[in-house]
Homo-oligomer: A and B are copies of this chain.
Amino acid sequence: MAEISANRARTIIRKTLAKGKEMGLKPLSVVVLDSGGHVKAFEREDGAAPGRFAIAHGKAYGAVMLGMPGSAQMARAEKQHYFMTAVNGVYGGQVVPVPGGILVLDKRGNTIGAVGVTGDTSDNDLEAGMVGIEAAGLSGQG
Interface residues of A (CB under 8 A from B): 1-3, 5-6, 9-10, 34-46, 48-51, 53-55, 57-58, 64-68, 77, 80-98, 111
Contact = CB atoms under 8 A, between A and B. Distances in A.
B39 A42 contact: yes
A21 to B, nearest CB: 12
Majority secondary structure of chain A interface residues (helix, strand, loop or mixed): mixed
A81 B82 contact: yes
A36 to B, nearest CB: 2
A85 B98 CA distance: 12
A131 to B, nearest CB: 19
Nearest to A98: B83
Contacts of A68: 49
